Amino acid sequence: MLIFHNPAHARHDGRQEMFRGRLVPCHETPARLAHVMAELQRRPVGELRTPGDADLALIRRVHQPRYVDFLATAWDEWVALDPENAAVDVLPSVWPVRGFRDDVLPLNFAARVGLFSFDAGSPLTAGTWDAARTGAACAIDAARALLAANAPRATMALTRPPGHHAGADFYGGYCFLNNAALAAQALRDGGARRVAVLDVDYHHGNGTQSLFYERADVMTLSIHGDPSTEYPFFLGHADERGAGAGAGCNLNLPLPAGTDFSGWSAALEQALAEIRRFGADALVIALGVDTFEGDPISRFRVSSADYLRIGAAIATLGLPTVFTMEGGYAVAEVGINVVNVLEGFVA
C-alpha cells in the first residue's frame, strides 16, 4: 500500500465554525491527521509518499474554473478588504436560494463567498487553498499510482481538509476540493472503464453524488446518517438513484441515528453487491471514521475493532482501491480507526 500524505495540511487551521448560533472551535483540526501519521509510525501498513504538483487542469475539469479561481484568491481578497481581517477566518453570511441568479458573478466578496458555499461551518483560512490543492495532488497521485506498472493493490490520499461534501462549484461540510471525485476522474482518464466511489463517512457524500449524478461510468454509493435528521440534510435520501445516462448509478443507504455495526455492515454488504453488479474495475473509498461510537458530532455505534472488519469486507471486492481521508472527529481515536481499516484491507 502506498500512502500519499499532505505536507501542507496544517496550513488549513480554522479557528471557529458556526454551530447552533455560536462560534465554536473547529472540529476539523490538524491534530486529526497527526494522529493518523503517529499510528502509521506504530503500525506501518504502507509506504509513505508526498505528492507532486497538483494537476490544475484536472481540478478545473472536476470543479468549475470560476470556483477554483475564487478558492485560489479568496484569502488575499479578504485581507485586501481590511488588513485586520487576517486575524479572522472567512465565513459566509448570505446565500442565494431558489430563484436567485448564479450565472452573474458578484463583485462583492461576501456575495461570492455565499455563492460558492452551503454552510457557515467551514472557515476558509490563510492556508486553505495550499492545503486543499496539495490534498488534491495526493488524491490524483494516489489514483495514478494505482494504474502504473507493478501498482500496489491499494493507495491512499491521507489528507485534510476532507473533500466529499464539495461539489463542482461549492464548498461546505469542512470540504473544498472533492478528493474522491478527483481520484475517480483520474482513474477514468488513466484507463479504468467503470469506477465505483463508495462513501462510508457518517455524512452523505453530497458533493460526490452531485458530480457524477448523470454519468454511467462512475457509480456513487453512500452509507450515512439519514438526512432527515443528519447533516447535510438536503441530499442523501434513498430515492436518489441517478438521472439521465446515470440513472441507476447512484445508491444511497441512509440509516437511523443509533445504528450499530450489525446494521451498518448489512448496508455495507448491500453496497458491495451493487458494486459487483455494476462491474467496476476500480474503487474509491471515501473513508470517514465519524461512524465511530465516540464521535462527538455523529450518532452511529461502530467500534474501533469493527474497522478491521470493514477493511477486510472492502478487500473482498478484489479491486484496485484508492482511499481518501474524509471525516472523523474523535481526535485521539482517528488514527487507530483509520489504520484499522487499512490493516483489515491488506491483511
Catalytic-role residue among 5, 35, 164, 165 = 165
* Of residues 171 and 174, the one with the C-beta less far from ligand Q9C: 174
Number of residues interacting with ligand Q9C: please give it, by CB under 6 A: 15
Q: How far apart are CA 46 and CA 95, in angstroms?
A: 43
Q: Using the rule CB under 6 A, is 333 a contact of ligand Q9C?
A: no
CB of 48 to ligand Q9C, least distance (A): 23
List 23's β-bridge partners, or say none: 18
Number of residues interacting with Zn ion: please give it, by CB under 5 A: 6
Q: Using the rule CB under 6 A, is 311 a contact of ligand Q9C?
A: no
Q: Using the rule CB under 6 A, is 327 a contact of ligand Q9C?
A: yes
CB of 18 to ligand Q9C, least distance (A): 9
Q: Which of 326, 333, 337, 341 binds ligand Q9C (CB under 6 A)?
A: 326
Q: Which of 161, 288, 320, 344 binds Zn ion (CB under 5 A)?
A: 288
Q: How far apart are CA 162 and CA 157, in angstroms?
A: 10
Cis? peptide before 65, omega within 30° of 0: no
Site for ligand Q9C in 107-166 (CB under 6 A): 121, 162, 165
Question: In sequence order, which residues have a C-beta less than 8 Å from that of residue 132 and are 6 or more positions away?
Answer: 12, 71, 161, 176, 177
Work out what residue 37 binds among Zn ion, ligand Q9C, none; the CB cut-off runs from 5 to 8 Å by kind. Answer: none
Q: How far apart are CA 80 and CA 137, in angstroms?
A: 28
List 253's β-bridge partners, or say none: 223
Q: How far apart are CA 270 and CA 97, in angstroms?
A: 35
Q: Using the rule CB under 6 A, is 295 a contact of ligand Q9C?
A: no
Work out what residue 231 binds among ligand Q9C, Zn ion, none; the CB cut-off runs from 5 to 8 Å by kind. Answer: ligand Q9C
Strand runs (DSSP E) across 119-165, as ranges? 154-158
Q: Which of 32, 203, 224, 301 binds ligand Q9C (CB under 6 A)?
A: 203
Q: Which of 114, 236, 242, 288 binds ligand Q9C (CB under 6 A)?
A: 288
Known catalytic membership, residue 35: no
* Of residues 195 and 200, the one with the C-beta less far from ligand Q9C: 200
**C-alpha grid cell, residue 239:** 430515492
Site for ligand Q9C in 36-65 (CB under 6 A): none
Instruction: Give the strand pairing for 22-25 and 16-19.
Output: antiparallel
Q: Using the rule CB under 6 A, is 19 a contact of ligand Q9C?
A: yes
**C-alpha grid cell, residue 76:** 488575499
* Of residues 240 and 295, the one with the C-beta less far from ligand Q9C: 295
What are phi and psi for residue 194, nearest 5 degrees?
A: -135, 125
* Of residues 290 and 343, the one with the C-beta less far from Zn ion: 290
CB of 299 to Zn ion, least distance (A): 11
Q: Using the rule CB under 6 A, is 331 a contact of ligand Q9C?
A: no
Q: Which of 190, 192, 240 is nearest to 214 (CA)?
A: 240
Q: How far apart are CA 325 and CA 318, in angstroms?
A: 21
Distance, C-alpha 309 to centroid of its chain: 21
**C-alpha grid cell, residue 165:** 461534501
Helix (H) or strand (E) holding 3: strand 2-5
Q: Using the rule CB under 5 A, is 201 a contact of Zn ion?
A: yes
Binding stretches for Zn ion (CB under 5 A) = 201-203, 288, 290, 327
Report, as residue numbers or ranges, the catalytic residues: 165
